[in-house]
A and B are shown apart, each in its own frame.
Chain A
Amino acid sequence: MPKAKVNGVEVEFEPGMTVLQVAELAGEEIPRFCYHERLSIAGNCRMCLVEVKPGPPKPQASCALPAADNQEIFTNTPMVKKAREGVMEFLLINHPLDCPICDQGGECDLQDQAVGYGRDGSRFALNKRAVEEKAMGPLINTVMTRCIQCTRCVRFITEVAGVAEIGLISRGEDVEITTYLGSAVTSELSGNVIDLCPVGALTSKPYAFNARPWELKKTETVDVMDAMGAAIRVDSRGPAVLRVLPRVNEDVNEEWISDKTRFAVDGLSRQRLDSPFIRENGRLRPATWAEALSVASARLSSAKPERIGAIAGDLQDAESLKATLDLFRTLGSANTDCRQDGMALGAGPRESWLFNAGISGLEDIDVLLLVGTNPRFEAPVLNARLRRRWLSGDLQVGMVGSAADLTYDFDHLGETASALTALAKARSGFAKVLKGAKAPALVIGAGALSGPHGAAVAHAAAQVAKAFGMSWNVLHTAASRVGGLDMGFLPGEGGLDARAMTAKGALDVLFLLGADEIDLSASDAFRIYLGSHGDAGAHAADLILPAAAYTEKDGLYVNLEGRVQMGQRAVFPKGEAREDWTILRALSEHLGKTLPYDSLDQLRSRLFADHPSFGQIDWAPRGQADLSAIGVAGEVGDAPLSSGVKAFHLTNPVARASVTMAECAALAAGPAKLAAE
């Protein structure tokens, strides 16, 4: 490996690294604004100047300079110091001195670096320039006078998000960052430009003027808005969650999160269930816990075991699933299901419902077949990884199902599942591509698996995967789904599934564990809803037990690749609400069937003992599914395979309670409505 000296210290580096990266290897901090590890190199802020020997006797922009063998790099010479001071002085010429009213204050790269590398004053005595504000939609607030034209946002939106909507117009002193004529950015990842912006030019609109970073309690946890389980940091002040930021997790989300993850948090303080409610004469009235639990236990104990059932929702932590499952099994009921959408998976070995290639494994695939999924809406960050893989070349993508703009090109092989059966038999076209593939992957969406023909579609897809030696990857949309399937939150022997439980006259008591995405109109059972938001489930409920949202409880979540991740509590549950598992524990005591755990630790020990896979925190298996055991051969139907996510911004109760998400959804639906008229 080539070697270089950084301030006299020798370091080895990999060929192709830039001077900046080599200096970082040696532990030197190089100030920068435009350079970002995950974006292309622009080299336009000039803040990363260093001195390089051999080379011209002038400072060099280290971010864009390839390191060479036996190079000597200096980052602390007088020349470098003076150069940085000069660049900083130039950058500050047109930067307003409005830090006290700027949302970036306290977490601003320009502020920090001006303190670290700038001089104490400016020699500029003329007028500063001012730039008109730009509209960028309901998420991004702009104060363009603060912009230092690093173009990180332009590069992110173009390269990572894949929708070229932000640009740098005009030139010289007059350049401005803008969208085309002030239209909103349509990417599902647009919020990341707020993190990328090194100054306060692009800030979060919903969070504007809410708090200073040093007032916030930071809690590192995981996201539940989709099944990827992105690493997030929840910033809270007192009882309120104010914002969500991404954390770096190279194996899952790198450092991006979707707009839903970031901006749905205002839903955590709206439509909340803050006390138990009992329906009397058709109206819900607030009640005490003692009342609510006695009503619940009376109903549950008076019904026959086969006439009670539980359906789990999409945002549940593994502990509450486990407690519900244990409670219903203790009561003798086999009617439990965690698949609100009726997904035809759950039997057989664990690999059949996992994303077996792994999220980071997507870097290594060479042919991708998407079946009934729109990864852009179902897991935007995963889609960004697919796009990067596609940009790096030689990735062939095939699609069976409704076509959509995925930000990369694909061969559309057909709308319906019959295209799958045809593909398994075909010799030419995409089948030929699959035949020649070294690491092909099949990604099947929850939408394809959940229709009336779900099992047959799963079988047909598995046959294709088998025929071409593809890895089997299920793209879930529900954060709780893999956890639920892993612990067997499924109908027991002779038990009813979710669909059957909601049928007319099927049950006497239906227990909804945060289940809001299921049609309850036919059900005439006594409905107990345990959840955090007054959404569909609570509206239909006869008894409401208020519980904690994902930011208000410690919990385990299993992401789509089978990675168990631990969520942390950031704030306490609202009002009378309690953590889910404690409610279930209290209910079991009322029923006289006390669950055998008194603390979360005991519950977890029990969970790990019963299902060892939950004990493997932060580890993702890389298995291969037994493809012959997936699904049931049968009629695949002729309905188009479409994504399970119809409206990206409104997939769960938190997002549906969020005003910001409602605005985004209206904006996203706008053009479609116009087209229909």
Chain B
Amino acid sequence: MSVRRLAANQPDSFAFSAESLKQVKAWIARFPEGRQQSAVIPALWLVQKQQGWVSEPAIRVVAETLGMPVIRVYEVATFYTMFMLEPVGSHALVQVCGTTPCMLRGANDLKAVCQRRFGDRDHLSADGKVTWQEVECLGACSNAPMAAINDYYYEDLTPGIFEQILDEFIAGKPRAPGSVIGRQGSAPEGGSAVLQDASLFDGTAAKALKALPNAEPKTPGKAKEAAQ
């Protein structure tokens, strides 16, 4: 991560769309009177949903909407790395996880694919369709390596499949998100390998308990002592 700055080229103005404004108002209404600024993160998030990134005029509009100093919104927008401060690709924002589990499972190869196809990270690709980033752990370690493309996770990637997926995004026909090897949730590859013995589930393995584990000793004298 490097120092976060607002983009050099900014639009002249920003206005919430009717739909976003409705949602911003709904967020503001969730907080008590006089605490509208609690809605700053949802508001910025809605800006990003609408615009694709957070522009400088949008920061001012959010400050105005929430009645807070613009420097406070600026602080929030620069603090959270998920707020994009520069325009992002029109077709895909690719966030490749580069943290240890993914790195061990081949994230560097995915990054190399991105580097080769789209140039340096954190910048628009030459055709303006894609922006790629390396991000910290996205919490899908068991399905490493993975990348978040726009709003969804694509897991268990190999450089080849990753490139295919990227092509699909650029063509405007993204595939369904999730594990590309058909893994169920974060279950082991190829399905579950344990707890498969059918007898575990038919009750035959069950035995009556002699005593509860860690129960108090039954000796009366000792129980009395303990009570005292």
A167–B71 CB distance below 8 A:
yes
B212: Cβ under 8 A from any A Cβ: no
Docked complex: A303-350 residues within 8 A CB-CB of B = none
Known: A176-B3, A180-B74, A181-B56. A170 touches B79 (CB 8 A): yes
**How far does the alpha carbon of A171 sit from the alpha carbon of B72 in the complex, in Å?**
14
| Residue in contact with A169 in the complex, picked from B1, B56, B78, CB distance below 8 Å | B78
B79–A169 CB distance below 8 A:
yes
Q: Distance (Å) between the CB of A315 and the closest chain B CB? A: 36
A167–B75 CB distance below 8 A:
yes
Known: A180-B70, A181-B56. A168 touches B75 (CB 8 A): yes
A172–B1 CB distance below 8 A:
yes
Known: A170-B78, A171-B79, A181-B56. A164 touches B71 (CB 8 A): yes
B182: Cβ under 8 A from any A Cβ: no
B72–A167 CB distance below 8 A:
yes
Which residue of the partner chain A has the closest CB to B59?
A180
Q: Which residues of B contact A166 (CB under 8 A)?
A: 71
| Residue in contact with B71 in the complex, picked from A170, A171, A172, A179, CB distance below 8 Å | A179
Chain B 114-149, CB-CB to A under 8 Å as 1, else 0, gives: 000000000000000000000000000000000000
Give the contact-size bracket for chain B. Answer: 10 to 19
Q: Which residues of B contact A176 (CB under 8 A)?
A: 3
Counting chain B CB atoms within 10 Å of each CB, the highest count among A174, A179, A180 belongs to: A180
B3–A174 CB distance below 8 A:
yes
Docked complex: A125-173 residues within 8 A CB-CB of B = 158, 164-172
Q: Distance (Å) between the CB of B37 and the closest chain A CB? A: 11
Docked complex: B48-76 residues within 8 A CB-CB of A = 56, 69-72, 74-75
B219: Cβ under 8 A from any A Cβ: no
Q: Which residues of A contact B1 (CB under 8 A)?
A: 172, 174
B175: Cβ under 8 A from any A Cβ: no
Q: Which residues of B contact A181 (CB under 8 A)?
A: 6, 56
B25: Cβ under 8 A from any A Cβ: no
**How far does the alpha carbon of A165 sit from the alpha carbon of B3 in the complex, in Å?**
20
**How far does the alpha carbon of A169 sit from the alpha carbon of B74 in the complex, in Å?**
7
**How far does the alpha carbon of A413 sit from the alpha carbon of B56 in the complex, in Å?**
37
Q: Which residues of A contact B78 (CB under 8 A)?
A: 169-171
B69–A165 CB distance below 8 A:
yes
Q: Distance (Å) between the CB of B204 and the closest chain A CB? A: 51
Q: Which residues of A contact B214 (CB under 8 A)?
A: none
Docked complex: B83-127 residues within 8 A CB-CB of A = none
Q: Distance (Å) between the CB of B224 and the closest chain A CB? A: 35
Q: Which residues of A contact B56 (CB under 8 A)?
A: 181
Give the contact-size bracket for chain A. Answer: 10 to 19
B4: Cβ under 8 A from any A Cβ: yes
**How far does the alpha carbon of A179 sit from the alpha carbon of B71 in the complex, in Å?**
7
Q: Which residues of A contact B75 (CB under 8 A)?
A: 167-169
| Residue in contact with A174 in the complex, picked from B4, B6, B70, B71, CB distance below 8 Å | B4
**How far does the alpha carbon of A158 sit from the alpha carbon of B68 in the complex, in Å?**
12
B2: Cβ under 8 A from any A Cβ: yes
Chain A 173-199, CB-CB to B under 8 Å as 1, else 0, gives: 010100111000000000000000000
Q: Which residues of B contact A168 (CB under 8 A)?
A: 75
Q: Distance (Å) between the CB of A173 and the closest chain B CB? A: 8
Which residue of the partner chain A has the closest CB to B71?
A167
**How far does the alpha carbon of A180 sit from the alpha carbon of B59 in the complex, in Å?**
11
| Residue in contact with B4 in the complex, picked from A158, A170, A179, CB distance below 8 Å | A170
Q: Which residues of B contact A171 (CB under 8 A)?
A: 78-79
Q: Distance (Å) between the CB of B138 and the closest chain A CB? A: 18
A164–B72 CB distance below 8 A:
yes
Which residue of the partner chain B has the closest CB to A132?
B3
**How far does the alpha carbon of A169 sit from the alpha carbon of B69 in the complex, in Å?**
14
**How far does the alpha carbon of A519 sit from the alpha carbon of B69 in the complex, in Å?**
42
Q: Distance (Å) between the CB of B106 and the closest chain A CB? A: 27
Q: Which residues of A contact B79 (CB under 8 A)?
A: 169-171
Q: Which residues of B contact A165 (CB under 8 A)?
A: 69, 71
**How far does the alpha carbon of A226 sit from the alpha carbon of B175 in the complex, in Å?**
71
B2–A174 CB distance below 8 A:
yes
Which residue of the partner chain A has the closest CB to B77?
A169
Q: Distance (Å) between the CB of B103 and the closest chain A CB? A: 20
**How far does the alpha carbon of A179 sit from the alpha carbon of B70 in the complex, in Å?**
10
B69–A164 CB distance below 8 A:
yes
**How far does the alpha carbon of A176 sit from the alpha carbon of B2 in the complex, in Å?**
12
Q: Distance (Å) between the CB of A393 and the closest chain B CB? A: 13
Q: Which residues of A contact B72 (CB under 8 A)?
A: 164, 167
**How far does the alpha carbon of A166 sit from the alpha carbon of B69 in the complex, in Å?**
10
Q: Which residues of A contact B2 (CB under 8 A)?
A: 174
Which residue of the partner chain A has the closest CB to B2?
A174
Q: Distance (Å) between the CB of B228 and the closest chain A CB? A: 29
Q: Which residues of B contact A167 (CB under 8 A)?
A: 69, 71-72, 74-75
**How far does the alpha carbon of A184 sit from the alpha carbon of B75 in the complex, in Å?**
17
Q: Distance (Å) between the CB of B164 and the closest chain A CB? A: 36
**How far does the alpha carbon of A116 sit from the alpha carbon of B75 in the complex, in Å?**
34
**How far does the alpha carbon of A166 sit from the alpha carbon of B1 in the complex, in Å?**
23
**How far does the alpha carbon of A168 sit from the alpha carbon of B69 in the complex, in Å?**
13
Q: Distance (Å) between the CB of A440 and the closest chain B CB? A: 25
Which residue of the partner chain B has the closest CB to A171?
B79
Chain B 1-33, CB-CB to A under 8 Å as 1, else 0, gives: 111101000000000000000000000000000
Q: Distance (Å) between the CB of A499 and the closest chain B CB? A: 44
Q: Which residues of A contact B6 (CB under 8 A)?
A: 181
**How far does the alpha carbon of A167 sit from the alpha carbon of B74 in the complex, in Å?**
8
B69–A170 CB distance below 8 A:
no
Q: Which residues of B contact A170 (CB under 8 A)?
A: 3-4, 78-79
Q: Distance (Å) between the CB of B152 and the closest chain A CB? A: 26
**How far does the alpha carbon of A168 sit from the alpha carbon of B78 in the complex, in Å?**
9
**How far does the alpha carbon of A171 sit from the alpha carbon of B79 in the complex, in Å?**
5
Q: Distance (Å) between the CB of B47 and the closest chain A CB? A: 17
Which residue of the partner chain A has the closest CB to B80?
A171
**How far does the alpha carbon of A172 sit from the alpha carbon of B79 in the complex, in Å?**
9
Q: Distance (Å) between the CB of A155 and the closest chain B CB? A: 13
Q: Distance (Å) between the CB of A176 and the closest chain B CB? A: 7
Q: Which residues of B contact A174 (CB under 8 A)?
A: 1-4
Q: Which residues of A contact B3 (CB under 8 A)?
A: 170, 174, 176
Q: Distance (Å) between the CB of B6 and the closest chain A CB? A: 8
Chain A 78-102, CB-CB to B under 8 Å as 1, else 0, gives: 0000000000000000000000000
Which residue of the partner chain B has the closest CB to A172?
B1
Which residue of the partner chain A has the closest CB to B4?
A170
**How far does the alpha carbon of A474 sit from the alpha carbon of B128 in the complex, in Å?**
65
Q: Distance (Å) between the CB of B75 and the closest chain A CB? A: 5
**How far does the alpha carbon of A25 sit from the alpha carbon of B1 in the complex, in Å?**
44
Counting chain B CB atoms within 10 Å of each CB, the highest count among A164, A169, A172, A181 belongs to: A169
**8 A-B pairs with least C-beta separation:** A164-B69, A167-B71, A169-B78, A167-B75, A180-B71, A170-B78, A174-B3, A171-B79
Given A165-B71, A176-B3, 9 more A-B residue pairs with CB atoms under 8 Å apart are A164-B69, A165-B69, A166-B71, A167-B74, A168-B75, A169-B4, A169-B74, A169-B75, A170-B4
Q: What are 10 of the A-B contact pairs (CB < 8 Å)?
A: A158-B69, A164-B72, A165-B69, A166-B71, A167-B75, A169-B4, A170-B79, A174-B3, A174-B4, A181-B56
